């Protein structure tokens, strides 16, 4: 890893840390969106488990 890529990675991580709370706050303000995402994630996990068991 060169110095340039290490710096870019560090900047990306810092930007991610800053944006994650903003995104979470936005999603919490929109309860319907959070509910839909949770349902889709649960459905995906359940379908994956069913296909692995088969």
Q: Where are the domains of the chain?
A: 20-54
Residue pair 44/50 in contact (Cβ under 8 Å)? The answer is no
Copy the structure tokens of residue 52: 């692995």
Q: What is the pLDDT of residue 2?
A: 59
**Which of 9-15's residues contact partners 24+ apart within 8 Å by CB, and which partners?**
none
Q: What is the pLDDT of residue 54?
A: 65
| pLDDT tens across the length of the chain (54 residues) | 556 687 887 777 777 777 777 777 777 777 877 788 888 898 988 888 777 776
């Amino acid at each position: 890893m060169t110095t340039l890529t290490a710096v870019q990675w560090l900047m990306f991580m810092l930007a991610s840390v800053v944006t994650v709370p903003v995104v979470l706050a936005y999603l919490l303000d929109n309860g319907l969106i959070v509910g839909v995402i949770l349902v889709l994630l649960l459905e995906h996990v359940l379908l994956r488990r069913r296909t692995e068991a088969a």
